[in-house]
Amino acid sequence: MLGGGAAAAMTAFLAACSGGGGSYSDKPANNNKPVATKSIQIGKANIPVPRDQSVIVGQVEYTVFDSFNGMIPNGSPSGAGVELSTEPLFYLSFATGEMRPWLATEYKYNDDHTEVTFKFDPKAHWNDGKPLGAADFKFTIMLLKDRPDLFGGGGELKEFVKDIEVPDPQTAVVKMLKPGPRFHYNFISAIAGPPLGIMPEHIWKSQDPTKFKDNPPVHSGPYKLKQAIRNQKMFVWEKDPNYWNKDKLDVKPQYVVYQSTSKQLDQASLAFERAEFDVGSVDEPHAKQLRNTGYPALVTTQFHDPNPRVMWLNCDPSRGVISEPKMRWAINYCLDREKIGKSIWPVPVPPAQYPWADYPTNDKWKNDELANKYKFEFNPDKATQLLDEIAPKNGAGKRMYKGKEINLEIITPSPVDGGEYAIANVLKTELAKVGVPATLRSLAGNVHDEKFQRGEYDIDSSWAGIAIDPEQLYSDWTSDKYQPVGKNAAGKNKLRYRNPKFDEISKKLATLDPESPEAKPLLDQALEIYFQDLPMLSVIQTGYPSYFNTTFWKGWPTDDDLYEVPLNWWQHFIFVLGKIEPTGQKGPA
pLDDT along the chain (589 residues), means of 10: 39 32 38 56 95 95 93 89 97 91 98 97 98 98 94 89 98 97 95 94 97 97 97 97 98 97 92 96 93 95 92 98 98 97 91 92 91 98 98 97 97 94 98 98 91 96 92 95 94 95 97 93 98 98 94 96 94 98 93
Residue-level pLDDT at 5: 37
Rounded CA-CA distance 49/46 in Å is 9
Rounded CA-CA distance 419/349 in Å is 12
Helix (H, G, I), strand (E, B) or coil at 389: helix
**Distance between CA atoms of residues 398 and 382, nearest Å:** 18
* Residues contacting 364, CB < 8 A, separation 6+: none
Backbone dihedral angles phi then psi of residue 217, each to the nearest 5 degrees: -70, 135
Residue of 40, 140, 17 lying closest to 551 (CA atoms): 40
90-205 matches 309-540 in fold: no
| 52-64+221-304+544-582 CATH fold | D-Maltodextrin-Binding Protein; domain 2 (3.40.190)
Of the candidate CATH numbers 3.10.105.10, 3.50.50.100, 3.40.50.720, 3.90.230.10, the domain formed by 309-540 belongs to: 3.10.105.10
**pLDDT at site 23:** 35
pLDDT tens-digit map of 213-258:
999 999 999 999 999 999 999 999 999 999 999 999 999 999 999 9
- H-run or E-run covering 167: strand 161-168
pLDDT number for residue 259: 96
Q: What share of the chain is helix, strand, coil (3-state, %, to 5)?
A: 30, 20, 50
Residues whose CB is less than 8 angstroms from the CB of residue 226 and which lie 6 or more positions away in sequence, other chains included = 49, 236, 237, 238, 255
β-bridge mates for residue 543, sequence order: 304
Alpha-carbon torsion angle 354, 358, 362, 363, nearest 10: 80
What sign results for the dihedral spanned by CA atoms 339, 340, 344, 349? negative
Dist. CA 310–CA 223, nearest whole Å: 36
Closest CA to 261 of 117, 92, 59: 59
d(CA 513, CA 182): 8
- CATH 3.40.50.150 matches 90-205: no
pLDDT of residue 37: 58
Domain boundaries, the chain: 52-64+221-304+544-582, 90-205, 309-540
HSE at residue 478, side-chain half, CA atoms within 13 A, is: 16
Count of C-beta atoms within a 10 Å radius of residue 553: 23
188-189 vs 90-92, strand pairing mode: parallel
Distances in Å between the alpha carbon of 436 and those of 79, 384, 495?
40, 10, 21
> What is the Cα Rg of the chain in Å?
25
pLDDT tens digits for 16-46? 333 333 333 344 344 444 444 568 999 999 9
Give the DSSP per-residue string, 409-469: EEEESS-TTSHHHHHHHHHHHHHHHTT--EEEEE--HHHHHHHHHHT--SEEEEE---SS-
pLDDT of residue 10: 37
Give the per-residue pLDDT at 32: 43
Sequence-distant (≥ 6) Cβ neighbours of residue 189 within 8 angstroms: 87, 88, 90, 91, 92, 570, 571, 572
Q: Residue 461: beta bridge partners?
A: 311
| CA-wise closest residue to 490 among 538, 434, 450, 445 | 450
d(CA 309, CA 328): 16
Specify the pLDDT at position 362.
86
Give the pLDDT score at 15: 31
- pLDDT at residue 544, rounded to an integer: 85
